[in-house]
Amino acid sequence: MKIKYWLAGLIIFAFTAIAQAAPASPAFQDIEGSFARDAIIQLSDRGIISGLGANEFGPAQSISRAHFVVLLARVLGVQPYSPAAPTFSDLPLSAAESGYVEALVKLGLVAGTGNKVMGADDSIKRQDAAVLLAGAIREESLEEPILGGRYLDENQISSYAAKSVAYVVWKGLMNGGDNLFRPQETLTRAEAAVLADRLFKIRKGQALTAFPVVDSRQLQIKTGETSKIEPDNSRQPLPFTTVYGLDDPVVGCISPDGSFSAGPKPGQATITVNAGYNSYLVHTNITSAGTAAKTTEKSPATTTACVPGEELTNGATYRVEVHSPDQGFRETEEKSYPGPQEGLTCLDETWTGFFRQQGRDITVDLKKVAPVTKISLEFEQEAGSGIYLPQYMNCSMSADGRTWYHLGLVSHSIDPADPAVLSKEFALTFPPVAARYVKISFPVDVFVFARHLSIKGGGQPQSPVILAHEEQNGQTADTYLQIPDIRNILLVFSGSHGDLGRWTSQDFLPMLVYLDKRNSIEGKMFDTLLFLPYPDLACTRDGWTAYAEDLFAPGAQLSALEETMARLNKIPDYQGKVNVILTVPYPDGQQENFGILESGGSPLCFSEKKAGQSQAFEDRFLAVRWFYDNLKDRWDQAGFKYLNLAGIYWYKESMDPTTPGDVELVQDVARLVRNDGLKFFWIPFFGAHGYDVWRSYGFNHAFLQPNYYASNVPPDERMDKAAGLAKRYNLGLEIEFDEGILSSPEYYNLFYKQLNKAQQLNIDKEASMAYYAGSKTLVRAWRSDNYKIRSIYDDMYKWLNGTYKTPANP
């Protein structure tokens, strides 16, 4: 097997087999001006959708039932499946669409038109597309959605499709227009692309939360025994196939169905359970069954559940891509540890060394599509020489080199400081998936040594395999957001709720500096205050005006903050400005009468249904720009000496792609803000749409809400997930609590569990943070005579300054 090193800056390797197998998406000449243009381009780039020719998509043409099923299966990540005999008389197993259709039949999503007929070439009706979509994503809801007279042609919806139509409309997947759903009309290729794009985003969210809980587990097993690992995947309406990783086949093996068979000798292993983008570890301890067994030191366990497949790397080629190329490191690597001439797949015991440069992607071309069921690569650790096991091995695969599917990780539990010289074979096992290309990725700190790359295959899965699409973002940040001069942001709610919404100088003082129990200043607290309205702010001109007037009212809010800062500036070591972030309210698309901005004008209407899409978008942006300009004028007129306007906050906590113009609206507001030299901030909730691509909306900085502070979530698990996502996408994090901690033992304990868990993850020292503290919760804690309540304020000061320690008895 021949090896090719592919570095980002070297064009010489552009014509590799893999590059030839993944052509750029076609430039369709008939989609300009189409409402589906962006969806078509994005899906085409991923290889999910194709055109009628090299330059023709045919957006206005109808899509057939078979082609829509194929599109649906590709978006869902369902891999082709072949039964012993075809389900439909008009769709033989040799047909290109058969594998996807048979897979959805097996999953219970496709039933045909009756009498074992698929109607493959018939154009699909909109109501039948709704039935397929609803079956694919249906989740349990508190109440069954109904249309309730939303459309004038509801009586034309067939009885079998009525609930499905109501469901997909409720989920925002299908909408109709001009008060008509058009259930009996055929679905166009453009409409199908938009539906597929919306479904793709939903599936991405499901992949991020595939497991309800990903806490590590423990498995105790005796030599020679077999134990079935069955993860809880019950929350997914269409679950992702579970993929199993193992870091040491010497002590046992794991089959594609999750059966772990312990070998004949005691030992320890780490099993990684993967589904979607989630994974968790099963720390496995194998103890002696009391019976001696004949074995050799390197013999893996052999059971009927773990029969090896056919080796597929014979005749294959591969290339190695460096994450962060450096010529000096590359020369050291090639000179010192080039590995065997035959490459990583040979049986030679020589190690191939990978030196620094952040990480490697090894992409293997098997030269033909074949069922793949196991991927493995052996690594060495010799800490004294700077050779470490990689933290993980990540694998993905593709049939065509263009559409990639995520398999999962293999992790381990070996301490990098362990002085022992050891080797581990990282192996990923899963039901057979047809693929030609396999990608193996791993990080490199100093040196990573690898050998014996193996890809095995054969057999057929008992049921369709469902995988998440591999993300296309390239290398992720792997670091929290850190904003210069903005470390800790306190959310300040005002504009209503009486005294709780009216901040005075006396309220701000303990939020800016730490006051001990004698009211002596001992240090600094929050460096930034984010002013925002309560959620009950009326989406009207009068409501927004009243909020702005309250924000700049004499003796309160911003004026009180200025007064407090003026006092502090008289004290050495506390001189300077405090950062302020102001909020732009969200123009609700349901509002039909926002009000008149100027005398003689017309009332603004944000409702697409009433005003039309173009006018509704224009009115929404007009309202935001009017408020923003008003806010800036008031700020300039106030002439604050000790307040620094650091930026503007976008109020809505999620990006809704199903609301027409929402993304474009945010992007226009971003341009408005950034043209004035201000930063644009956002704090999406956990699971919100768009948090992972927050920069594409124009935000400068974004913080992720863990939504940890709630009694109905698994706290430890949620903070782990949120921290991992924040690090992956370069987000800050939010700490959450409210007045409940002042009176409820449950919420008091939950608050401290939150701080303790976040400290374990080193968030307090590594990330810029936002703090949701309800209505003056910290002010009330500071004033309290109760020791436990007062300690909340004291501990928050320690947290903000990196000196917090987990209390022995919180």
Question: What residue type is assigned to position 14 of the chain?
Answer: A
Structure tokens at 357: 């440069």
The range of the structural domain enclosing residue 365 comes to: 308-466
**pLDDT given for residue 785 in this prediction:** 93
Task: Determine the Cα–Cα distance for residues 782 and 794; give it in Å rounded to an integer.
Answer: 8
Query: Shortest CA distance to 618 belongs to which of 600, 601, 599?
Result: 601
Please, what are the averages of pLDDT over each run of 10 residues along the chain (810 residues)? 29 28 64 92 91 90 95 96 91 92 92 81 94 81 69 93 91 86 95 94 82 80 92 67 93 92 93 91 90 40 58 95 81 90 93 90 96 96 91 94 94 86 95 96 91 93 93 61 92 94 96 93 95 95 96 96 96 92 95 91 91 92 96 96 96 76 88 91 86 84 88 66 87 94 92 90 91 96 94 95 74
Task: Determine the Cα–Cα distance for residues 513 and 517; give it in Å rounded to an integer.
Answer: 13
**pLDDT given for residue 328 in this prediction:** 75
Helix (H) or strand (E) holding 334: helix 327-336
Domain count, the chain: 4
Structure tokens at 506: 């006396």
Helix (H) or strand (E) holding 68: helix 65-76
In this structure, the answer to whether residues 535 and 636 fall within a common structural domain is yes
In this structure, the answer to whether residues 510 and 547 fall within a common structural domain is yes
DSSP 351: P
Structure tokens at 494: 């005002």
In this structure, the answer to whether residues 448 and 580 fall within a common structural domain is no
In this structure, the answer to whether residues 591 and 733 fall within a common structural domain is yes
Whether 3 is covered by a domain: the verdict is no
**pLDDT given for residue 194 in this prediction:** 95
Helix (H) or strand (E) holding 617: helix 613-638
Query: For residue 91, is it left (φ>0), alpha (ψ between -120 and 50) or beta?
Result: beta
Q: What is the CATH number of the domain that holds 224?
A: 2.60.40.1080
DSSP 608: H
Question: What residue type is assigned to position 670 of the chain?
Answer: A
- Given a contact cutoff of 8 angstroms between Cβ atoms, the answer to whether 243 and 253 are in contact is no
In this structure, the answer to whether residues 668 and 636 fall within a common structural domain is yes
DSSP 35: T
In this structure, the answer to whether residues 775 and 743 fall within a common structural domain is yes
In this structure, the answer to whether residues 258 and 403 fall within a common structural domain is no
**pLDDT given for residue 8 in this prediction:** 28
Q: What is the CATH number of the domain that holds 384?
A: 2.60.120.260
Whether 480 is covered by a domain: the verdict is no
Query: Shortest CA distance to 403 belongs to which of 436, 368, 448, 374?
Result: 436
Whether 483 is covered by a domain: the verdict is no
| Boundary of a domain, candidates 433, 466, 499 | 466
In this structure, the answer to whether residues 159 and 249 fall within a common structural domain is no
Structure tokens at 504: 């005075």
Whether 452 is covered by a domain: the verdict is yes
DSSP 398: E
3-state class (DSSP) for residue 15: coil
Global model pTM greater than 0.75? no
- Given a contact cutoff of 8 angstroms between Cβ atoms, the answer to whether 604 and 622 are in contact is yes
User: Do β-strands 267-275 and 243-246 pair in parallel, antiparallel, or remain unpaired?
Assistant: antiparallel
Whether 14 is covered by a domain: the verdict is no
In this structure, the answer to whether residues 432 and 492 fall within a common structural domain is no
In this structure, the answer to whether residues 312 and 302 fall within a common structural domain is no
Structure tokens at 158: 């067939």
In this structure, the answer to whether residues 155 and 282 fall within a common structural domain is no
Task: Determine the Cα–Cα distance for residues 137 and 348; give it in Å rounded to an integer.
Answer: 49
Residue at token pair 């899963």:
430
In this structure, the answer to whether residues 108 and 159 fall within a common structural domain is yes
Whether 618 is covered by a domain: the verdict is no
**pLDDT given for residue 712 in this prediction:** 61
Whether 169 is covered by a domain: the verdict is yes
Whether 8 is covered by a domain: the verdict is no
